[in-house]
Chains A and B, each alone.
Chain A
Amino acid sequence: MTKADVLNPPVEPAEWSPPSRGVVAVICLIVTETALFMIFIVAYLFYIGKSLSGPYPSEVLTTPVIATICLLSSSLTIVLAERAFERANAGGFRLWWTGTIFLGAVFLALTAVEWWELIAGPRLTINSNLFGTTFYSLVGLHASHVIVGLTLLTLALILFLRGHVRAEHAERIKLISWYWHFVDVAWVAVFTVVYVIGR
């Protein structure tokens, strides 16, 4: 309220560091993807026990233990890769990042095998009954996100091997790993709904 106020207002804040745009964007992306998954999960839960004819979940589902272990471990390996990157450990990064891709690919392959067996054996397809419809769409939705994640990881690896990824890109590596963690958490939800609750 003094003259000094008016003539010399302290305008520039000492520190000005709003959140990074990449972080905000990926959080928003995860929010909207979560909403997407929620609807398919709600449909799955709603239709449990409502199929008019078989095959039924308890008859044909086997718990994908190995696939789950692979996918969840890949969250661990990606954290190790990130740490290596921060410490400028190129070899470590290469190892753990490739390991993540490998584990994700194994997960996809095992899912494919599971589907093959369900279709060839008990003839469970997307149009057999409500269980088939909700099973393939929910697990398929998740698998499609794994594919996108693997694509991102592979792209990053190729760019890294070509020398285009430097220390200042640490945040981008982190954001890719956030997406990958989201895919993992989504699998925990899908797994619980399909193989635990729905069986």
Chain B
Amino acid sequence: MGAREIALTPGIGTLSTMTLRLHDLAVTTDHKKLGLMYVGAGLVFFIVAGLLAAVMRLQLAAPDNGVVSPHVFNRLFTMHGTSMVFLVGMPIIAGMMNYLVPLMVGARDMAFPRLNAFGFWMFLFGGLLLYFSYLAAPGITGAGSAPDVGWFAYSPLTARAFSRGHSTDYWILSLLLSGVGSIVSAINVIATAVSLRCKGMTMMRLPLFVWLSIVTSFMILLALAPLSAAQIMLLLDRFLDARFFDTQAGGSALLWQHFFWIFGHPEVYILIIPAFACLSEIIPVFSRKPIFGYPIMVAATTMIAFISLGVWAHHMFTVGMISLGNIFFATSTFMVAVPTGIKIFNWLATMYGGNLRFEPPMLFCVGFLFQFLIAGLTGVMLGVAPFDWQLHDSYFVVAHFHYTLVGAFLFGIFAGIYYWYPKAVGRMLDRRLGFWHFWLLAVGFHMTFDPQHFLGFLGMPRRIYTYDAGRGWEVYNLISSVGVALQAAGIMCFVVNLVRSYLKGEPAGEDPWDAWTLEWATTSPPPEYNFETLPVVRSSRPLWDLKHPEDPDWRYE
């Protein structure tokens, strides 16, 4: 027997089952395993970054509080923001796209399985490098710890003169690494969706999840590069004394802002469009109707992607741009709201006249709709440049982006996890725990973030480690902090649910939700080769056609 054969027999030979499993994950190129690893790592970082936020809210619960020093607080909000965007949001969407796209197009794996693995490990090392800064950034001089320059790291605060030690360098390097992972993932998703579709699956028969994954990936290609470019420039400034953002040498601090937001604004759409994608799959199934206006949904998302490349300076209304600049970006910001609104209307129209089942995936979708509506409207308020001159850099903005990232993005992701967990694991998530998770999170979310809108109205700026009593901010901050406890309880229900259901959840079968896309046409979990025989399709809902031969979709499409 060769050495390999010995190792494969558990118990005999020197390797345990756990070691074998870990080794398998370390070398796998299977899109399903990698997808789950992406999501799993993202959820671990989510817990860590959530704890960072909990400490911040503890500090801000009362005026002149002494829970943490300003140095620690400034690191907390920097690490919280950076982690949530790059180490939670990006990997979770990458994981979901990597897991689902091949299954939904009827392929056996991604177009480039080894590239997929490479992307995952780049992301993971990048993430670990960021947290390694707590230990290593002090370096020889003892100055510096984790980055404390804010997640968007404005110049010249990030110059060597103002940011001593290596904390900012860790910020740059870790994001450059994980950025490579994102770009590589995007290339893979597009190649898979375009080139590996099963027979009969024309582009207009793609599940909306796949279409939206293509749009997201295309945006990643266009938006991540500017971030990498700006970060390389900053690295050159810090290490080689380049002058990109050196105001003493005539450099422009604003240039960083432009480059960052040219990345930063599309980035938030990169995050939210996969959540849109989850909704576009889940709402139809739980309304028992096809998505209303499939071609319009594709067109609207594509429009959002294009327009969002031209709104970036709405993050810069207060920097003193010429009036024409402010007017232009306010206009483009309003314009992007139109296709976004159209999507909300289409989801509503899908539900209208349907037969709604409020299982956990659908509950989270409803939460998304309600909260994304509010988030979109506060976004319009921020787009009115003069209004933004008051609201910018205040807690109103904090409330707005947490509404989009937690109230919408996170809820959409949870909807997706409750929906596809049975497929990935073969067992259903517990329904009751799901309801507890949803309600605790929803109530806690509103407790924390609704008052923050008012804090913005009352003049509280963001990124402050403490505030004076007497400004009228105390009550709102206290309520906001208390909400964290409820959110944490909700997340705990979720974690318990994940683990418990994995061990003894109800077996799911192939198609527990009576759904219509190809991933439900194979076992749960799917075998490594995904499908016994590659399917041939005739409409965008192949399983509907199979289940309803008397009234197939291909008659109407």
Interface residues in chain A, defined as those with a beta carbon under 8 Å from any beta carbon in chain B: 1, 5-6, 9, 11-13, 16, 18-21, 24-25, 28-29, 31-33, 35-36, 38-40, 43, 46-47, 50-52, 126-127, 129-130, 132-134, 137
B462 within 8 A of A: no
Give, as a whole number of angstroms, the nearest-CB distance from A125 to chain B: 9
B555 within 8 A of A: yes
Give, as a whole number of angstroms, the nearest-CB distance from B516 to chain A: 17
Q: Are A52 and B250 in contact (CB under 8 A)?
A: yes
How far is A11 from B555 in the complex, measured between Cα atoms in Å?
Answer: 13
Stretch of B240-248, B343-351, B374-382, B391-399 that contacts chain A: B240-248
Give, as a whole number of angstroms, the nearest-CB distance from B409 to chain A: 24
B208 within 8 A of A: no
Stretch of B25-33, B229-237, B466-474 that contacts chain A: B229-237
B251 within 8 A of A: yes
Give the residue of B199, B223, B250 whose beta carbon is less than 8 angstroms from that of A12.
Answer: B199
Give the residue of B112, B196, B223, B236 whose beta carbon is less than 8 angstroms from that of A133.
Answer: B236
Given known A-B contacts A18-B194, A32-B183, A133-B242, A39 and B250 have beta carbons under 8 A apart:
no
Q: Are B187 and A13 in contact (CB under 8 A)?
A: no
Give the residue of A19, A35, A46, A127 whose beta carbon is less than 8 angstroms from that of B222.
Answer: A35
B507 within 8 A of A: no
Given known A-B contacts A16-B199, A32-B221, A126 and B236 have beta carbons under 8 A apart:
yes
Q: Are B195 and A20 in contact (CB under 8 A)?
A: yes
Q: Are B194 and A39 in contact (CB under 8 A)?
A: no
Given known A-B contacts A6-B549, A19-B194, A24-B195, A126 and B242 have beta carbons under 8 A apart:
yes
How far is A18 from B230 in the complex, measured between Cα atoms in Å?
Answer: 36
Q: Are A31 and B259 in contact (CB under 8 A)?
A: no
Which partner residue on chain A sits nearest B232 by CB separation? Answer: A137
Q: Enumerate chain B residues within 8 angstroms of A129, measured Cβ to Cβ.
A: 243, 249-250
B340 within 8 A of A: no
A to B CB contacts below 8 Å, 5 in the list: A11-B536, A13-B199, A28-B221, A36-B226, A127-B240
Given known A-B contacts A6-B549, A28-B221, A133-B242, A11 and B191 have beta carbons under 8 A apart:
no
Query: Shortest 10 CB-CB distances between A and B: which pairs?
Result: A35-B225, A39-B229, A127-B241, A21-B195, A21-B111, A36-B225, A32-B221, A133-B242, A28-B187, A133-B243
Give, as a whole number of angstroms, the nearest-CB distance from B102 to chain A: 12
B98 within 8 A of A: no
Q: Are B230 and A39 in contact (CB under 8 A)?
A: yes
Within 8 A of A (CB), among B225-280: 225-226, 228-230, 232-233, 236, 240-244, 249-252, 255, 259, 262
Q: Are B233 and A43 in contact (CB under 8 A)?
A: yes
How far is A39 from B256 in the complex, measured between Cα atoms in Å?
Answer: 11
Given known A-B contacts A9-B538, A137-B242, A18 and B221 have beta carbons under 8 A apart:
no
Q: Are A29 and B242 in contact (CB under 8 A)?
A: no
How far is A47 from B538 in the complex, measured between Cα atoms in Å?
Answer: 55
Give, as a whole number of angstroms, the nearest-CB distance from A101 to chain B: 26
Which partner residue on chain B sits nearest A15 by CB separation? Answer: B199
Give, as a whole number of angstroms, the nearest-CB distance from A172 to chain B: 13
Give, as a whole number of angstroms, the nearest-CB distance from B122 to chain A: 15
Q: Are B194 and A24 in contact (CB under 8 A)?
A: yes
How far is A35 from B220 in the complex, measured between Cα atoms in Å?
Answer: 11
Q: With a 10 A CB-CB cut-off, give which of B186, B191, B232 has the most chain A CB atoms.
A: B191
Given known A-B contacts A24-B190, A32-B222, A9 and B554 have beta carbons under 8 A apart:
yes
Interface size class of B (residues with CB under 8 A): 35 or more
Give, as a whole number of angstroms, the nearest-CB distance from B394 to chain A: 30
Which partner residue on chain A sits nearest B111 by CB separation? Answer: A21
B532 within 8 A of A: no
Q: Are A36 and B550 in contact (CB under 8 A)?
A: no
Q: Enumerate chain B residues within 8 angstroms of A12, measured Cβ to Cβ.
A: 199-200, 536
Give the residue of B111, B250, B550 whose beta carbon is less than 8 angstroms from that of A25.
Answer: B111
Which partner residue on chain A sits nearest B550 by CB separation? Answer: A6
B301 within 8 A of A: no
Q: Enumerate chain B residues within 8 angstroms of A29, measured Cβ to Cβ.
A: 187
Q: Are A130 and B196 in contact (CB under 8 A)?
A: no
How far is A51 from B249 in the complex, measured between Cα atoms in Å?
Answer: 7
Within 8 A of A (CB), among B208-224: 217-218, 221-224
Which partner residue on chain A sits nearest B250 by CB separation? Answer: A52
Q: Are B255 and A31 in contact (CB under 8 A)?
A: no
Within 8 A of A (CB), among B469-516: none
B197 within 8 A of A: yes
B326 within 8 A of A: no
Q: Enumerate chain B residues within 8 angstroms of A39, measured Cβ to Cβ.
A: 225-226, 229-230, 259, 262
Q: Are B243 and A130 in contact (CB under 8 A)?
A: yes
Q: Are A130 and B251 in contact (CB under 8 A)?
A: yes
Q: Enumerate chain B residues within 8 angstroms of A126, measured Cβ to Cβ.
A: 236, 240-242
B192 within 8 A of A: yes
Q: Enumerate chain B residues within 8 angstroms of A32, measured Cβ to Cβ.
A: 183, 186-187, 221-222, 224-225
Which partner residue on chain A sits nearest B259 by CB separation? Answer: A39
Given known A-B contacts A25-B191, A39-B259, A50-B250, A33 and B225 have beta carbons under 8 A apart:
yes
How far is A132 from B554 in the complex, measured between Cα atoms in Å?
Answer: 62
Q: Enumerate chain B residues within 8 angstroms of A9, measured Cβ to Cβ.
A: 538, 552, 554
- Seed contacts A127-B240, A130-B243, A133-B242; 18 additional CB < 8 Å A-B pairs: A11-B536, A12-B199, A12-B200, A13-B200, A21-B194, A24-B194, A25-B111, A25-B190, A28-B186, A32-B186, A32-B187, A32-B222, A36-B228, A40-B233, A129-B250, A130-B249, A130-B250, A134-B244
Q: Are B243 and A127 in contact (CB under 8 A)?
A: yes
How far is A43 from B252 in the complex, measured between Cα atoms in Å?
Answer: 10
Q: Are B229 and A36 in contact (CB under 8 A)?
A: yes
Q: With a 10 A CB-CB cut-off, give which of A12, A13, A16, A133 has the most chain B CB atoms.
A: A133
Give, as a whole number of angstroms, the nearest-CB distance from B9 to chain A: 36
Give, as a whole number of angstroms, the nearest-CB distance from B164 to chain A: 19
How far is A144 from B222 in the complex, measured between Cα atoms in Å?
Answer: 20
How far is A51 from B251 in the complex, measured between Cα atoms in Å?
Answer: 8
Q: Are A21 and B221 in contact (CB under 8 A)?
A: no
Give, as a whole number of angstroms, the nearest-CB distance from A3 to chain B: 10
Q: With a 10 A CB-CB cut-off, give which of B195, B240, B550 has the most chain A CB atoms.
A: B195
Which partner residue on chain B sits nearest A26 by CB separation? Answer: B187
Q: Enumerate chain A residues within 8 angstroms of B549, measured Cβ to Cβ.
A: 6
Give, as a whole number of angstroms, the nearest-CB distance from B208 to chain A: 19
How far is A31 from B187 in the complex, measured between Cα atoms in Å?
Answer: 10
Give, as a whole number of angstroms, the nearest-CB distance from B356 to chain A: 30
How far is A134 from B237 in the complex, measured between Cα atoms in Å?
Answer: 11
Q: Enumerate chain A residues within 8 angstroms of B259, measured Cβ to Cβ.
A: 39, 43
Q: Enumerate chain A residues within 8 angstroms of B251, measured Cβ to Cβ.
A: 47, 130
Give the residue of A11, A16, A40, A51 whose beta carbon is less than 8 angstroms from that of B538.
Answer: A11
Which partner residue on chain B sits nearest A6 by CB separation? Answer: B549
Which partner residue on chain A sits nearest B193 by CB separation? Answer: A24
